[in-house]
Structure 1
Amino acid sequence: MPKTAAQKHPRKAPKKAKAEVNELTTAEATVETLLSHGIRTVYALPGVHNDYLFDAFARASDRLSVIHTRHEQGAAYMALGAALATGKPQTYSVVPGPGLLNSGAALLTAYGMYAPVLAMIGQIPAQAIGRDQDHLHEIKDQAGIIARLVDHAVLIKGAAEAPSKVAKAIRSMAEGRPGPAALECAIDVWGQRGPVGPIPDPMPPRLPRPDEDKVRKAAKLLGKAKRILIVAGSGAWGASPEVTQLSEMLQAPVLSYRRGQGVLDGRSPFSVNLPLGHELWGEADAVLAVGTRLFAPLQQWGVDRDLKIVNVSATADGAGKLHKPDVALIGDAAPSLRALIAALERTNEKRASRADEMRERQARMRARIAKLGPQLAFLEAIRAELPEDGILVDEVTQVGFAARLAFPVYKPRTFLSPGYQDNLGWGYATALGAQHARSDVPVLSINGDGGFMFTANELATAMRHRIPLTAIVFADGAFGNVRRIQQEQFGNRVIASDLANPDFVKFAESFGARGLRARNPQELRFALRESFAIREPTVIEVPVGAMPSPWEFIHMPRVRGKTKR
């Protein structure tokens, strides 16, 4: 049979388009991947190990901003503050060795706060890594040190692999245990050119779907419980509507001490502080933990067979780290709680309102903590002037401790507290990053005179980059908490707790910032009002004396039996 025309001239399959390949340096490929993943700012301090990286930053300056600080800890803390305030990945870059170590406290804090901070750390020449040859900034087993501060760390060895390694690092910060990641690159690799394939687009994190059987089990358990306490940590930040709905469905108070504040609007009678949560823990027959390790309740308040626990956690390890829950829902909080709500609509028993009970208990609690009067008066002044969506960054200081107990927080991510590291001096630079990333709202940093001086040099950064952060310095001339412990527990043998301070108003003015002084809460209100109106870098000095101890409201005794499963 003669062939048809089509058979004589068969249509050829279309050629596949070749993947675009460009010649880029390792640094340029890294920067392009950062940009493709929505990162538009790098907090950084330059140095010779990263010269080619900074040149790549300069070449992309129409798309990328570099906020350079006066110390590596400032750069890392700024990235941390930006990540906490936005919930989005942020990055910082420093040289190896001393640069890494100087930034280490902030990276460690990011790990403890599950914050998506990407550290880009330089390295000595590639062939010398691990050989102990005394290169500039060489540190023995730098990768091993980094591995103890993050869950994902990798060395970039060339331009071709840079995009995939950067993309994987960014993705890792939202998968499994959320938290920081780190990239190293050698001084002689940043500038090497090579063929680079297409820059990868962001990939959504792989998150487990709610286990339907466990959701039903949790709904059955909670639906039959009579007195439920919800405990919310920072893992609940993205699930505020769901937590609010569950609180209403279950008539359950919501305890948030530091990280979870604002998940339930602090004006609700169901939003309870730590000491009231301590009471409720002792009365509860069921607890719903959302995005929290339950450290204080499990380690200090006690647990017994009469208390059932449902834990919503990003990872199985996180859910059972301190105590095996009765039900563990593994995955992102919002979809897990939505599934739980749907199941509870079928199993939840009818509940009488506890609103009046909670209002009465709130009033009694306010009377109890009134002994913190000096701190509370300043916090009332701050709350009166800080807008509802303004951000407060606390510190390891007397007013900061009280803020964790008594500062009303209305929305998630508007109260930033440093987690279990609780490191003195984190506040000012972290708040600076939060203010830079959230230029649409005022950010307020509260400090003691001790903690403020850790990163007070970053006033220069605030001025150089016109970051309108307002900082209060409560100045008592001492590490006040240390001094009180020495007085009360060590026979008044006071040592190494007194401070020599500058005049903080003049100190601020020496940088060109605005310096103000407030001697009482009313003057503080006027100063805050002025600062928030003019939107310039400002320091407000508040001279204070010794303040009442908050610790009886923080370290509280066991209220449940000793039985453990």
Structure 2
Amino acid sequence: MELAKARSVKPAARTGGRVLADALVAQGVDHVFAVPGESYLDVLDGLYAVRQKLKLVTCRFEAGAVNMAEAYGKLNGRPAAAFVTRGPGACHGAIGVHIAFQDSTPLLLFVGQIPFEETDRESFQEVDYRRMFQPLAKWVTQIDDAARIPEIVAHAVDVAMSGRPGPVVIALSEEMQKKLVEVPDIGRADVAPANPDPAAIAKMQALLAKSSKPLAILGGSRWSEAGRAAIRDFLVAHEVPVTVGFRRQALYDGTLDNFAGDLGVGSDPALVAKAREADLILAIGTRLGEPVTQGYTLFEPAGGVPIVHVYPEPGEIGRVFRPALGIVSDVNAFADAAAKLPAPKRVAWRDWTRELRALRLQGCAAPQYEGTLNLAQAMHALQELLEDDAIMTCDAGNFATWPPRFMNFKDGQRFIGPTNGAMGYAVPAAVGAKIAHPDRQVVCFVGDGGFLMTGQEIATAFHHGVAPIVLVFNNQMYGTIRMYQERSYPGRVSGTALTNPDFAKFIEAFGGHGEVVSETAEFAPAFRRAVESGKPAVIELRMNPDQITSRSTITQMRAAASPKPAAKPKRAEAAKHPKPSARTAPKPAKKR
């Protein structure tokens, strides 16, 4: 009756800009991250009308805005919206779209567009966004008819969240936003998730029963709290050793006895070696991409080791590695089904699981590093200082291997970062996370190079009254590229050295809290002061530049790369002591 009554009511005339704002509210979008532009002024006016229902976050750079929206999608499993202006704004924001695509994160990016009547004249800031974003997004479209706004926005949300989640880009022609239309809003669709075939679950159980060295790899996005709890219950009950994919540490409680570490960039070589010994792989939610499979070398494409691949998108199963069993399923639905399996009466791989756990504990023990600041011990201290529901954001770079190696994240904590290796992600992601979850502790890990790419987004934190804590790992270089230089061209430093400001004074200039830590004992008190300040904070960690990774130094890398002197060939007995000749006689030393 109510639905029929609603259908009989004629919608009031609204501008396209207002219709778009109402469409976002109807789809449950509650955060918009934006850098304002003249190409979507009417949408900004529409957002003003719904300001009590939808929070508009004004950012300082388009890449920062889209990264904030991407972090929101990672944490909440539903898309936020980012708005950028045409041309340069869209180009700046493209990096966030690439992150969302490779990280399988639901995201909506709206781009202001030129007036439709000026198309193909190379008008001011004109770009064909269908062509520009086609390789980077799940769907790219443009709205030229304001009456279609509710339809297209609703479909965009469905596309962003269905199957393998990802970004959708929508261009908004300028004059369309001004047009008055009478069109009803469209609500959210109630779509049941894809459930696993019961026969496939039984087959997986049979494969596991035959195994002696199984290994689980968790990955992917849109895991719910219930889903993470269910997959934990299944893996604990079956005592299967668990690894997580690249930057997916938040998916499993690292304090549990069957957690074996992470497979990705900077993984423990001992764990990688053990992964090659596994006789069954349970790949649950992960893409089995290049970082997880160590450059596609961990498994055989033909399927030498049986792989059970669980993924919501059928086209991803068997894309590189042929599985023994592919299960097309929502990850949470699969976890629920797996958790209902009875625990085995006999676990043939118990010693295997204990061996992998021992390697994990051994790998995260703090070595004695050269220099006054032992980052391993600092990470151990941080682990004890973090709140049980803390959110951590991580940038790209060599520094990013320190937290996953030396910290075990708890079940309620979240750790997010760009699996596509994009620098400049962590600071805006931390700001966005704190805006979306103001009551949770948010800590950012970023290198000195990444901080100066998007560190200005700390201004957004001040503007919106939130206080993330940023740890800047300062080694005065682009560390990852320097590492590769030292491997291939030892001693020939080119383009990787950096000149940095005083990062503590940088945040103090905004009115925030700054700390500089150069000794291990200084870290914990500095972090406590940052928390107690209640302000956005930066803690600069002045590293030993020679400690290029958590496992090696530049000095060691140069020594390993240096050519070894050739062994002298053995000569006949008679030639051991030849008589000096004109060629072999030593020349007299020159007088100085």
Q: Normalising by the residue count of structure 1, what TM-score does the alignment of the two structures yield?
A: 0.88
1:430 corresponds in structure 2 to 429
- Output the CA distance in 2 between the equivalents of 1:15 and 1:186: 33
Equivalences for residues 357-506 of structure 1 within 5 A: 357-366=355-364, 374-411=374-411, 414-419=414-419, 421-506=420-505
Equivalences for residues 272-283 of structure 1 within 5 A: 272-273=260-261, 274=263, 275=268, 276-283=270-277
In structure 2, stretches of 5+ residues that fail to align are 553-592
Q: 1:540 to 1:219 in 2, by over 3 A?
A: same
Contact 1:504 1:539 survives alignment (8 Å): yes
Contact 1:281 1:297 survives alignment (8 Å): no
SS in structure 2 at match of 1:50: helix
1:137-180 CA distance string (max 9 Å, x none):
112x2221122221022212223211111111112111122111
- Output the CA distance in 1 between the equivalents of 2:298 and 2:181: 59
Match for 1:246 among 234, 240, 250?
A: 234
Query: How big is the shift at 1:16?
Result: 9.9
Q: 1:93 to 1:271 in 2, by over 3 A?
A: same
Query: How big is the shift at 1:319?
Result: 1.8
Query: How big is the shift at 1:459?
Result: 2.1
Deviates more, 1:308-317 or 1:260-269: 260-269
- Output the CA distance in 2 between the equivalents of 1:17 and 1:121: 31
1:388-436 CA distance string (max 9 Å, x none):
21111112233312223332111366111210x2012221111111111
AA matched with 1:415: F
Q: 1:487 to 1:260 in 2, by over 3 A?
A: closer
Once the two structures are aligned, what percentage of the paired residues are identical? 25
SS in structure 1 at match of 2:100: helix
1:289 corresponds in structure 2 to 283
Larger radius of gyration: 2
**1:182 partnered with 2:181:** no
Query: How big is the shift at 1:357?
Result: 4.1
AA matched with 1:190: Q
- Output the CA distance in 1 between the equivalents of 2:410 and 2:113: 44
Contact 1:223 1:349 survives alignment (8 Å): no
Q: 1:467 to 1:291 in 2, by over 3 A?
A: same
**1:351 partnered with 2:347:** yes
Query: How big is the shift at 1:383?
Result: 1.3
AA matched with 1:163: P
1:81 corresponds in structure 2 to 71
SS in structure 2 at match of 1:182: strand
Contact 1:375 1:398 survives alignment (8 Å): no
**1:101 partnered with 2:95:** no
**1:221 partnered with 2:227:** no
Q: 1:158 to 1:78 in 2, by over 3 A?
A: same
Q: 1:543 to 1:219 in 2, by over 3 A?
A: same
**1:192 partnered with 2:188:** no
- Output the CA distance in 1 between the equivalents of 2:460 and 2:401: 27
Q: 1:230 to 1:393 in 2, by over 3 A?
A: same
Contact 1:260 1:412 survives alignment (8 Å): no
SS in structure 1 at match of 2:147: coil
1:267 corresponds in structure 2 to 255
AA matched with 2:405: L
Contact 1:92 1:118 survives alignment (8 Å): yes
2:315 corresponds in structure 1 to 317
SS in structure 2 at match of 1:43: strand
2:218 corresponds in structure 1 to 232
SS in structure 2 at match of 1:189: helix
In structure 1, stretches of 5+ residues that fail to align are 1-13, 553-565
Query: How big is the shift at 1:314?
Result: 0.9
- Output the CA distance in 2 between the equivalents of 1:403 and 1:15: 56
Contact 2:34 2:82 survives alignment (8 Å): yes
1:119 corresponds in structure 2 to 109
AA matched with 2:418: P
- Output the CA distance in 2 between the equivalents of 1:483 and 1:358: 32
Equivalences for residues 521-540 of structure 1 within 5 A: 521-540=520-539
1:6 corresponds in structure 2 to none
Query: How big is the shift at 1:371?
Result: 6.6
Contact 2:248 2:416 survives alignment (8 Å): no
Query: How big is the shift at 1:341?
Result: 4.1
Q: Normalising by the residue count of structure 2, what TM-score does the alignment of the two structures yield?
A: 0.84
- Output the CA distance in 2 between the equivalents of 1:523 and 1:531: 12
Q: 1:488 to 1:284 in 2, by over 3 A?
A: closer
Match for 2:243 among 255, 263, 274?
A: 255
